[in-house]
Homo-oligomer: A and B are copies of this chain.
């Protein structure tokens, strides 16, 4: 089936990484793909725009079916290929509730507080224009969020939604990985540190690891010395 799949993706994009982990977990590791570089604006190229008028990656095809939004691709793959590879959304009602809750909690809260609010502030604000009081407020919200997930992991002693790796980890882990790249120190978050090491070692994560992270240092380190 993997030979009928095609993914346009960029390196270090959390939205791209999520479906890439799912593709590996579901056993579609050999899917066709095209790596695009953001700096050359290849996501605005004709081949992407034909399938995704927003000119964004990930852009995904499964045969004739096009799915673009990263969360939609993840859910599409899990629903459509339920019985292939790792089951990422449980069929048991209570377990499914927990996984869905943590998926959307990560998407709404972790993404907002660690990526959109804090990290993007650094990406989008010149060094000389950054206000320390603004940063302090955002850091405080990020720590509160990290504490919350640290407690969840203390309860499960395994993955963010329970004893098994699930879609909630797919939506949560790349945010932590990116934050660590940007200087987050997990010293004060021992459960998350153990979790991070365990998930990082998964073949699905290793195979989809952002290639430029292995070679280039981060452009900014907003968390360094702050969290």
Contact = CB atoms under 8 A, between A and B. Distances in A.
Interface in A5-38: none
Size class of the A contact interface (CB-based, 8 Å): 20 to 34
A183 to B, nearest CB: 26
A100 interface: yes
A76 B105 contact: no
Interface string A103-128: 11101110000000000000000000
Interface string A67-84: 111111001100110000
Nearest to A95: B65
A93 interface: yes
Given A68-B101, A75-B104, A80-B93, 19 more contacts: A62-B97, A65-B93, A65-B94, A67-B101, A68-B105, A69-B100, A69-B101, A69-B104, A69-B105, A69-B108, A70-B104, A71-B107, A72-B97, A72-B103, A72-B104, A76-B97, A76-B100, A76-B101, A80-B96
Interface of A: 53-54, 62, 64-72, 75-76, 79-80, 89, 93-94, 96-97, 100-101, 103-105, 107-109, 148
21 contacts: A62-B97, A65-B93, A65-B94, A67-B97, A68-B105, A69-B100, A69-B101, A69-B104, A69-B108, A70-B104, A71-B104, A71-B108, A72-B97, A72-B104, A72-B105, A75-B104, A76-B96, A76-B97, A79-B89, A79-B100, A80-B96
